[in-house]
Amino acid sequence: MMKLYSSTTSPFVRKVLVVAHEAGCLDAIEPLAGKASPIQADMAIVATNPLGQVPTAIVDDGQALFDSRVICEYLDAQQGTGLFPAGAGRWPALTLQSLADGILDAALLARYEQVTRPETLRWEPWLEGQMGKISRALAQLELQVPAFAVQLHIGTISLACALGYLDFRFSEFAWREGHPRLADWYQTFSARPSMAQTVPQG
């Protein structure tokens, strides 16, 4: 069993759950409710992970594992499912994960700026800087889709979770506009049971 500090809205938790689903070990995960916040740390989580972030995992021997990249790779290695490819295919898959995680980091910072920070202390250039990263990433991904379209690995899983988060929290951003190939790819990918059963709630 793996205990997993989780929230139903975290896109990084979703990555772990999608990997667990695809690797056939979802039943071996026991979720623990966690409340990650950049302002108010969750004291239960920080006892294990001083960063206070979800997802944080605790495996059978009591060892803590984080962040999402580490937990995902651990589950994949335990199950031998090859979602973290070996050989030459590893580097584009890991770089795609990094790009998707970068979209999510930017989106979370944008959300903290727009929602968490008091209105009088918001700084437009910061928000624009974060949203600019997302826009440029989408533009590059639109060109890359043919290269990864039919692949299932940690890169495509991360990308799908990132796009799902844009739908969940930034629907007015309308990411599909101008990115028809990416939208098509996501429509197919998000129909996978692992994605359909982990749609964010909140």
Residues that bind its own copies (CB under 8 A): 37-41, 46, 49-53, 59, 63-67, 69-70, 73-74, 77, 90-92, 94-95, 98-99, 102, 106, 112, 117-118, 121-123, 125-126, 128-130, 132-133, 136-137, 139-140
Least spacing, CB of residue 180 vs its own copies, in Å: 18
Q: Which is nearer to its own copies, 185 or 195 (CB)?
A: 185
Contacts 24+ apart (CB under 8 A), 72-75: 72/15, 72/16, 72/19, 72/154, 72/157, 73/154, 75/2, 75/16, 75/19, 75/20, 75/23, 75/25
CB of 199 to its own copies, least distance (A): 26
Which position has the token pair 């809205």?
Answer: 9
Contact 172, 111 (CB under 8 A): no
- Least spacing, CB of residue 91 vs its own copies, in Å: 6
Q: Which is nearer to its own copies, 186 or 195 (CB)?
A: 186
For its own copies, the closer of residues 110 and 160 by Cβ is 110
- Which alpha helices (DSSP H) does 47-153 contain, by range? 68-79, 90-111, 124-148
- The residue (of 126 and 148) whose beta carbon lies closer to its own copies is 126
Q: Quote the tokens at residue 201.
A: 């709630």
Tokens of 165: 């988060």
